[in-house]
Structure 1
C-alpha cells in the first residue's frame, strides 16, 4: 500500500470536533460505536465526523480507519477513502478486510495498475471475491491485459451467468486471448440477453471481425451504430475494417463522422493518417500524425499511466513522424506498464539500433526473446545488435569457441571460467579455473576466483593454502594478503587471519577491506565495542563509507536495537540506492517489524535498479508474499528460475521460496534443475524430500531420506527427514529413533521437540515429558528449550507446570510471545492476573493479532466487554480468517449490546469446519443469538461465559 505523509492524514482528519486532554482509548471507542450506528443508518457525514473524533482520541484505532474509508467511498470521495484504508493496513489490518473498498477507490481514481498489484484475489475474503474479481477485470481491461481480464471474468460469470455486461466484456477479452469461439459465444449470449444494447452488438461485430467474417462484422457494427449513432468503438472498428477491405470511400465517411463527434480522438486521427497515406497525401498524413501526437503529448504522465494504449499510439505516431526521442520515451513508458508486449519492444529496439545504442537494444530484446523465442524479427534485431558490438559469440558457448580459436589463451580461458560461474555451473568453473591456474600460476584473476570458489564450497583450508602460495609470489600485494586473511578466518584460524590483516595494513594503512575485516574479526571474537570503534574511525575519515555503516547496522541489530540499525541502513540507501546488501537487510528488518508496504517499495526499487539480480528478485518475491501479492511473488520466483540456469545452490534456494509461496510444481522444477547440475547436492536432495512430504508422497520422501543417510550418515538432515517421513505414515516409534539419531549429530531444540512429539504419539507420554525436562535442564539458558518444555506440559494437560516454565523462560528476557503464552495459560487456570501479563505482551508487540486477542479476551473475562472491543476488533481485522477471534469478538459484542453485529461475527466464526478450544461455547452463543430478535435491547443483562473472571 502507498504511504501517505502525516500532513495529508492530518488534513483528512481536520474538521473533527476538538477535544481536550490526552488521548483516551475509551472515549475513542465510544465515538467509534456511535459512528458505526450512524453509518448503518446512512448518516455518512455524521459517521465521518465521529470517526475523526475517534481518531483524534486514539490515532491507532484500526476499526475507525476501515469504517472511515468506507464512509468516504459512500460519499464519493475515493482519494480520502484510499488514505484511510491504506493507513488501516499500515497499522496492521489484514489486507483482505479492506481489499474491496481499496480496489474501488483505486478504480475510481484510475489507478488500475495499483489495483492489480495490490488487490490480490486469492487474499480476498470469500464473501467479497466476486466483487473483487469484477473490479480486477475492469482494471485489466483498462490496461489492455486481455488474458488476465478474461480469466478474471470467467470466475465472475460463473457466479452471475445472466449478466450481459459480463458477457460483453468476456467476449472482447476472449478475442485478445485468441479464443474466437468463446468470443462469439459470449457475444451471441450478450445479444440474446440484451438485444437493444449497442455494446452487445459491438461485441458480436468484434468477434466476427477478428474471425474474418467481414460481412457479419459490418452488419453488427452497423446495428450498434443504428442503436447509438455516437458509439465510438463501433465507428472506429467499422472504419478500420473498411480500410482493411480497401473501401476507402466508405471508411472516409465514418472517419468524417468521427471528426465531428470526437474531433480529438487520437485513434481516429491515426486512422485518418493511414487513409491519407493510402491516398498519396503525405502532407495530410503527417498532419493527422501531428494531431495524434498533439493530443497525447500534453497529457500528464500520471494520466497516460492509466491509459497505456495512448502511450503505444503516441510511440507509433512519433515513429511515423521520424521523431525517435519522443517515440522512445513513449514506448519505454508503455513497456514499463506492459512489459510483455513484444511488438512494442521490437519497435523500440529498431529505433535504438538505428541510433547505435546496442546495449539498450539487448536490454529491450532480452525480454522480447523470452516472450517470442521464434520471432524472426526479434532474432534478426538481436543478431544486428551483437554484430554492431563486435560480440559474435554469446555466453559460455561463444567463449568456448573463442578459446578454441585462440589455441587456449589463458586470459580467454579465465573469462570462460567466470562465464561458467555466472551460468551457475560451479563444478565446471572450478575445473576450468584449476586448469588455467596450473598452466599459468601468474593468472591472478584465476587464483582469486579459485580461492573464493573454494570458500563457497566449504573448503576454506584449501583456499588458505592457495592464497598462501599467491602471497609468496606477491608478498607486497595488499589485496593478496587480505585474501589470505579472509581465507584463514574462514578456516577458523583467527590468529593467523589477524596477522595477515595487520600485514596488509603494514603495506597500505588505508587498505579499506583489511580495516573492515579486522572489525568483523573483533565481532567474531566477541568484542562488539572494539569493532564499533574501528568502524566509527573509518567514518571519521570517510563520512560516506557505506561498508562501515553496514557493519555498524549489524552491530546494532545484534545488540537488539533494530531501529538504530534501520537508521544506518537508511543512510546507506540515501547514499547508494544500488547497494543491494544494505537494501536487502533493510527489507528484512522492515518485514520483521510488520512494515510490509515499506519493504515492498524498497524491494521493487532494488528490482528496478537490478532487474536480473537473483538476490533482488528473492527480496521482491518475499516482500510481495508478505504484502499478500502472491501472483507477483510467483512471477519473481519464476524469473529467478530462468536466470539461475543450472546453479544448484541457487535453484535449491529458489525451490525453497517457491514452496513458501505454495508453488509446489515450480519448486519441483527448480530442484530438478539443481539435481541435474549436481546429482549429490545434499541441500537439494533434502528439500526434495520435504517437497514430497508436502505433496503427501510419504514413500518417496522416505526413500530420499534413506538415500541421504546412506551417503551421508554423519549429516543430521537425512535422519531428521527419515523421522518426518515416518511421522507422516504414523510410524511413531520409527520416527522417534530417527529424530534421536539426528539429535545426536545436531543438538537442536526443534529436533528435540519433534522427538517429543513422536514419543508422545507413540504412547510414551511419561518418557516424552521426561526427555523434554532433561533437554531443558541441559539447556537452561535457551528460551527455545524452555518454551518447548512449556508446550510439552500444555500438550499433556499440565497447565501449572507450563506456567512455571514460561515464567522461568521470561527470567532470561522479556519476550512478547512468551508473555502471551503465559497469559493464555493463566486464562486456562482462571487467574485474573492474566490481564496484566497480556498487557505487557501487547506493549511489546501491539501488531500481533494473537496477542491482541489474548488481551481482549482477558478483559472480557474480567467483565470489561467495552474495553475488550478495541483489542478484539483490531485482532479480527489483523487475522480475519481466525474463527476463535471471531467468536471472542462476537461474545464481547453480545455483552456490549450490539447483537446484530455479534450475530454476523458468530456466523463467520462457525462458517466452514472450525476447530478451536471454545467451539462448544461458540455454538451455544450462536443458538442464543439466533433465538433473539434483530436490533435487541442495547443494555441487556450480562450473559455468562465459562470461566468468567469477573466473579473472582
Structure 2
C-alpha cells in the first residue's frame, strides 16, 4: 500500500516560474514623468530605455546620494538593478521604494515575484502581494504569484484557494503552469496533469522545475515510464550540477524507482551524496526508493537526512511540513514529527489541517485517548470549513490512521459527502465497515475507491481487503486464492507481500493446516529478521496451533513488553495478547491495546475476563454500554456472547449470537459459535442442525467438521467418528498436508475410547 506523503519537491527559491512572469511586467519608466522631476532622474530613465543599464544605475545612485527621498530615482534604481540581474540588490531597492510609497503596484508585485527566488524572501513576497490584493482584489497577476509563493511554503490550502479564483478568470499560460506545479506538490495529481495538458496545448514547453512537477503528476497517476522520459530529457539539457540539476536527479531517481528501475535510481543520485546543498533532494529520492523497493536501508538513510534538514538555518515552513509529513509515516520518528507539527500549528493557528494532523499523531503515539481524539475532531467538524483545500488537508491527516476505529466513520463519511478530492477516504471507510461486520457496505466503498485513478494504481490494497471480506463471508478458499494471486504478481511493496502472506497463513491456520501456516509465517520473518513484531505473530500462530506452550509464548510476549513502550501496538501484539489466557498482570497491556483499538474482540474478551474475576456483573455492564453506544457493532455482540459463555451464562451467550444472526443472516462465525453453545447445553440435535447449516454454506469449514465429529463421539459413536476422521485426513493428504486439528481430535477420541475400556493409551506409557 502506498505511503500517503506530501511531496513538495518544489524548487522554492529557484523562481523558475517567476522569471517568466517577470518578463510580462512593465519594468520601464512611468509613462510620463512630471516636468518637476530632476533632469538627472530623467536622464537615468533615458539611459535605461536605451539599454545602458550600468550607466543608469550610476546615475540613479548619484541622485539618491543627494536626495534619498526621491521616489522616482529609487524606483529607477530598482528597475535597473533588476535589469542587470542583481536580484538581491533589486529586492532591497524595491523594498526601499515601498518605504517611500507603500502602495506602489510595480514595487509590490516585483517584491512578490522576487520572493520566489529565495526561500528567505518568500514571506516578504507574500506580505507585499497581500497588500496589493487588499488595494485591488481583482488583480489576477498578483493573486497567481501569491498562490505560487504560498505553495512554495507548503501552505497548500491557501495556495489552492487562490488558484481556484485565478483559474476562473481567464488566466495567463504562466498562471496555468504555476497552478499545475502547485497542484502536483499538493497531491492533486490528476488535477495537476489536467492543468499541465492545458498548458501544453498552448505549444509551450515544460522545463526545469515545472518539468519536475509534471513528472511527479505523471508518476502518481500511473505513468512512471513517461515521467522517466521527461526527466531524462531535462537531465540531458543540464551542464552543471546546479540547484535545478540536483532537483532533476532527485525526481528522476523517484521516477526510476516507481518504474521498477531501482539500480538506475540509486545510480542517478550518486553525485548528490555528501553535499550540503542537496540534503533535502537526496532525502526525497531515498524515501521514494524505500517506498517503491521496501528497502529499510534506504529508509534509514532518508530519515537521517530529513533530521539534518530540520537543523538547517534555511528551513522554511514548507520544508518543515514536508519533513514532518514524511517522518510521521515512520513509527520511530512520529515523536519528532509531532513536535514539528505542533510548532507549525502555532505559527499557523487557522490551518485546521495542521491541527488535525497534530491530533492524529497524538492519538497514534498514545498521548490522547480515543475519546479525547473524537472530541477534538468534533470541534473541527462542527461545522466543516467550506474551503475545499482545508477539507482536503483534514482528509489527508485522517487517512494516515492505518486502522481507524468504528466511531470515526461519521467523520470520514462527512468528508466524502462534502465532495473532498481524496479517494483513499473510501478505502478507510471500507476498513471500518469490515470491522463493523457490514460487508456489503465495505464492498461498495471499495468499488468507489477502485473507480478512481488512485484506486487503479493501488490494486493490491483493494485485493487484500476483498480477501478479508471473502474470509468473513465464509469463503476462505476464495480469500486464499486472492492472497496467492497477489504473491504471484510479485508486488514491489514489501508491506503488500507481508499482508498477503499473513492473510494466507491465517487462512491455512483456520483450515487446520497449521504446519503450512507456520512455514508461510517463516517467510514473513525472513523478509525482515529485525522486525520483532513478526516474531510475535509467529509465536501467536505456533501457540494457537499447539506447537508452543503457554510459558514459551508468554516469554516472547514479556520480552517485547520489556523492550517497548505500551504505546507501540503492532497488530501482532494484539494477536498474541488475545490468544494467551487472560492474566490479571496483563490488564495494563489490555487497557493500552484497547485505547488504540477499542474494537479488537480477542483483547476485549481478555480484558473483560480479568474484570469478570473481580466483578462478573461489572464486566457484563461494560459490554452492555459498548452495545448501547453502537447497536450495529457486531463485534460487541461477539464479545458479549463469549464473555457470557465464559461465565457459564449459556442462555445470554445464545441470545447474543442469535442477535448477530438477526442482523447478519448467514454469518458463519456466529452460526458456528451458536452451535458450540448448543453443544455445551447438550442440545446435540440442535447443534448438529446448526453445524450442518454451516457446512451447507461452507462445505470445508474445519470448525464445523470438527464439531460434528465431536458430536458423533459425544453421542457414543466413537468408532464412526474415527472412521470419518480417517476419510477426511486421506482427503487432506491429497491436498498436500495433514490437518493437525483432526490429528489431535482423533487422539483425544482414541484416548477416551481406550480409557473407557480400561486400557492405558500407548502415548501415556512413557
TM-score by length of 1: 0.39
Higher relative contact order (CA 8 A, sep 6+): 2
